[in-house]
């Protein structure tokens, strides 16, 4: 990401006025998240405090202003809502809030950027669910869905669990759980999950009579997000999300538009599968999703004649930079229909390891004097940042913990420090995403 382009985008946003509050969208606290990468800009915008008749105009103005910046090829406006009752603005703190998708509706006004587009997104598909565990794989055929289903069944022994089958190219979850559709809608027209053994199940495989699926990328994305957003889950504390294999548009979009607490990768020990998994782990980590670990599936087979255990594939996991949480044998009991609360021992142990890793992933490594603005309203955020920054001597580190992307706070810190160019003055300026709702900023006072 170019610092110069990011600074230019921030300056452009500073020129967009919020007509309801009489100030720019930054100072009004409407910008919750800003991502600039390879000419693509995503702005998370909270317009809940804006007069509804003006909200669309504000979003259009953001697209026009950012689209007019040299080097910007595409602009996306993602509509978010506050995470806490206080909600409100920030001096650059931002969780992507609640995510979802609505159709793109236009192009930027600047004719120099003919490919500038806007899309406005809505609410978190899994709002109200305490933790969401994604199960992913770099390629198909490694047993990802089997692991996802068995993990959900193991967790169901102690938790209210749901499983969402986002693998619409191969929706195998209903078959593995031996459940059938059709899905029924309630009085609110929202689809109700199918229930088996206390586990709630939602899948496109319950809605299409097992006909072959050949989805185009954009249609697939919309199908998954629409189903995720509208599903009427009951009171679930845990959701297992079975992602499509690979790192295409659908799995990445689902991760970006939902609050995922951790991802578990499934691979075989085969060398190429491990190499692909390593690259996928890096990509998912770049998206800010904590990688809990990997499952080595089909690791071995026990000979029925001699009882000796033999590896099925040559290779190993030396190339993986994340822990292996389980090495699963190729046995009949793993292939049997999953039963909630009654799972083979290897999966029960995996569920324990996943739970432990989730707790570890929630720990934020920052010093005690870090400024934590999570859950604060706009004015309190400004005050906390100002007070914390005032206590830092020139050259000393400054840490900020936020529930929104804190990148825009650089401009405010520049005002506090009295510098002309915050981008040059605050070096290093590192923002790291921890989980789905926490960001950490590390910088030094000039």
Q: Give the integer Cα–Cα distance in Å for 35 and 95.
A: 12
Of 36, 84, 435, the closest CA to residue 258 belongs to 435
173 membership: H or E segment, kind and range: helix 173-177
- Judge whether 433 is annotated as a binding position: no
pLDDT in tens, the chain (446 residues): 467 888 888 888 888 887 766 677 877 778 877 888 778 888 888 877 777 767 778 888 888 888 888 888 888 887 766 543 333 334 443 333 323 322 233 333 332 333 333 333 444 567 778 889 999 998 888 899 999 999 999 999 999 999 999 887 788 899 999 998 788 887 788 889 999 999 999 998 887 554 444 444 444 556 777 788 888 899 899 999 999 888 776 677 777 667 788 899 998 888 788 888 888 888 887 777 788 999 988 866 666 677 666 666 666 666 777 888 988 877 666 666 678 877 888 899 999 999 999 888 766 778 889 999 988 887 888 899 999 999 999 999 999 999 888 888 998 999 999 999 999 999 999 988 776 678 899 999 99
User: Residue 318 CA to chain centroid, in angstroms?
Assistant: 27
Assess contact for 112 and 39: CB atoms under 8 A. no
163 membership: H or E segment, kind and range: strand 161-165
- Judge whether 414 is annotated as a binding position: no
Query: Before 161, cis peptide (omega within 30)?
Result: no
Q: What's the pLDDT score for residue 325?
A: 92
C-alpha count within 13 angstroms, C-beta hemisphere, residue 180: 2
CA-CA-CA-CA torsion sign (121, 281, 326, 244): positive
Assess contact for 259 and 124: CB atoms under 8 A. yes
Do the strands 371-372 and 191-192 form a parallel or antiparallel pair, or are they unpaired? unpaired
Helices 409-417 and 378-390, axial angle in degrees (round to 10) = 50
User: For residue 207, how many other CB atoms are within 10 A of its CB?
Assistant: 16
Q: Torsion over CA of 395, 401, 405 and 409, rounded to 10 degrees?
A: -40
- Judge whether 316 is annotated as a binding position: no
Which residue stretches of 211-362 are H helix? 217-230, 249-257, 271-286, 332-335, 345-361
Q: What's the pLDDT score for residue 130?
A: 85
Domains of the chain plus CATH, in order, are 3-118 (3.30.300.130), 131-361 (3.40.50.300), 371-444 (3.30.110.40)
- Judge whether 144 is annotated as a binding position: yes
Query: Before 349, cis peptide (omega within 30)?
Result: no
- Judge whether 366 is annotated as a binding position: no
Q: Round the CA-based radius of gyration of the chain to a whole number and report it.
A: 23
Contacts of residue 345, Cβ cutoff 8 Å, sequence gap at least 6? none
- Judge whether 57 is annotated as a binding position: no
Assess contact for 57 and 49: CB atoms under 8 A. no
Buried b (16+ CB within 10 A) or exposed e, 259-279: bbbbbbbbbbbbeebbebbbe
């Amino acid at each position: 990401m170019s610092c110069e382009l990011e600074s230019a985008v921030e300056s452009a946003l500073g020129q967009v006025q919020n007509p309801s509050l009489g100030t720019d969208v930054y100072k009004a606290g409407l910008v919750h998240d800003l991502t600039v990468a390879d000419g693509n800009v995503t702005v998370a915008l909270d317009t809940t405090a804006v007069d509804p008749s003006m909200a669309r105009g504000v979003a259009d103005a953001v697209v026009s202003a950012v689209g007019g910046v040299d080097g910007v090829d595409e602009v996306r406006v993602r509509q978010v809502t506050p995470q806490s009752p206080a909600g409100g603005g920030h001096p650059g703190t931002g969780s992507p809030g609640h995510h979802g998708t609505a159709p793109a509706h236009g192009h930027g006004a600047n004719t120099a950027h003919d490919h500038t587009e806007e899309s406005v997104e809505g609410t978190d598909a899994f709002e109200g669910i305490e933790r969401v565990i994604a199960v992913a794989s770099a390629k198909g055929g490694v047993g990802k869905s089997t692991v996802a289903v068995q993990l959900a069944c193991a967790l169901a022994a102690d938790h209210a669990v749901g499983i969402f089958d986002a693998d619409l190219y191969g929706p195998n979850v209903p078959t593995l759980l031996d459940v059938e559709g059709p899905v029924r809608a309630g009085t609110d027209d929202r689809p109700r999950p199918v229930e088996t053994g206390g586990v709630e199940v939602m899948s496109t495989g319950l809605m299409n009579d097992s006909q072959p699926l050949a989805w185009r990328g954009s249609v697939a994305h919309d199908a998954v997000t629409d189903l995720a957003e509208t599903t009427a889950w009951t009171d679930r504390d845990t959701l297992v999300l079975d992602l499509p294999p690979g790192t295409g548009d659908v799995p990445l979009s689902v991760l970006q538009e939902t609050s995922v607490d951790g991802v578990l990768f499934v691979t075989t020990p085969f060398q190429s599968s491990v190499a692909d998994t390593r690259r996928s782990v890096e990509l998912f980590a770049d998206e800010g999703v904590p990688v809990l670990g990997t499952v080595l599936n089909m690791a071995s087979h026990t000979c029925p004649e001699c009882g000796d255990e033999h590896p099925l594939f040559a290779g190993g996991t030396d190339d993986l930079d994340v822990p292996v949480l389980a090495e699963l044998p190729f046995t009949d009991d793993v292939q049997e229909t999953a039963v909630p609360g009654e799972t083979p021992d290897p999966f029960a142990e995996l569920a324990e390891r996943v739970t432990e890793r989730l707790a570890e992933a929630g720990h934020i490594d920052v010093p005690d004097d870090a400024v934590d603005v999570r859950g604060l309203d706009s004015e309190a955020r400004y005050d906390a940042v100002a007070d914390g920054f005032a206590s830092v001597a020139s050259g000393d580190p400054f840490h900020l913990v936020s529930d929104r992307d804190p990148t825009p706070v650089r401009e405010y810190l520049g005002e506090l420090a009295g510098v002309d160019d915050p981008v040059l003055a605050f070096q290093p300026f590192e923002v790291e995403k921890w989980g789905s709702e926490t960001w950490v900023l590390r910088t030094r006072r000039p």
